[in-house]
A and B are shown apart, each in its own frame.
Chain A
């Protein structure tokens, strides 16, 4: 059972916009930064969003992050077939003194 809660799967068609949600609590998302990682099959995760809503250099602006209260969201617009991957949210948890992940959301591009 993950500390951060994500839907197991989401799907969309090419060109569409999808959103992936991440729910936490006051000890993690509610009080610290949220990060998003993309993991393509068989590869290491890649940092997509840092500090709630900032894109590292090289990440397309089709990817955007937001946070409100104890929830966060990753939006992907202009969906492409190579966006098909697992997406994880992560945050520091003050109560646990630990970094925590969501269980991951698998994005299928139909």
Chain B
């Protein structure tokens, strides 16, 4: 079992960047894949990308290529999602989620609201 705790809500101006953290505890961090999923207000779930917490290897949805960076600091079992060149339609709740290969995403953070407004 792993518990995921995300950083707090953010308010950003268009063109800015945001970095959301996801602190894992309770299990071996490096045995998981961390995925990031976002949900705009009143909308469905949208997958952004994944990161192998051990190797740091990543894969991003084409929509976010060049704008998103997923990293981790293993010593403090924390994953990060950095999204740049923010626009108003990036306003969403951003979730980190953890799972092992083929097992699905069993563990979720509480979500971080990122609001983008001038």
Q: Which residues of A contact B (CB under 8 A)?
A: 2, 33, 35, 37, 39, 44-47, 49-51, 56, 86, 88, 90, 96-104
Known: A99-B50, A101-B44. A46 touches B62 (CB 8 A): no
Most buried by B among A49, A50, A98: A98
- In the complex, identify which listed stretch (B13-21, B79-87, B99-107) lies at the interface while the others stay far away: B99-107
Number of residues on chain B facing chain A (CB within 8 A): 22
B62–A47 touching, CB < 8 Å: no
Alpha-carbon distance A44/B61, docked complex (angstroms): 21
Alpha-carbon distance A104/B46, docked complex (angstroms): 11
Known: A98-B61, A103-B44. A44 touches B103 (CB 8 A): no
Which A residues touch B50, using CB under 8 A? 99
Alpha-carbon distance A49/B103, docked complex (angstroms): 9
Q: Which residues of B contact A (CB under 8 A)?
A: 35, 37, 44-47, 50, 59, 61-62, 95, 97, 99, 102-106, 108-111
Partner pick for B35 among A86, A99, A103, CB 8 A cutoff: A99
Can you report 7 residue pairs joining A to B where beta carbons are below 8 Å apart? Answer: A33-B102, A45-B97, A47-B99, A47-B104, A56-B104, A99-B35, A101-B44
For residue B60, give the distance in angstroms from its CB to the closest CB of chain A: 8
For residue A107, give the distance in angstroms from its CB to the closest CB of chain B: 14
B95–A51 touching, CB < 8 Å: no
Give the nearest-CB partner of B6 in chain A.
Answer: A44
A104–B104 touching, CB < 8 Å: no
B62–A98 touching, CB < 8 Å: yes
B45–A88 touching, CB < 8 Å: yes
Give the nearest-CB partner of B35 in chain A.
Answer: A99
Most buried by A among B47, B99, B104: B104
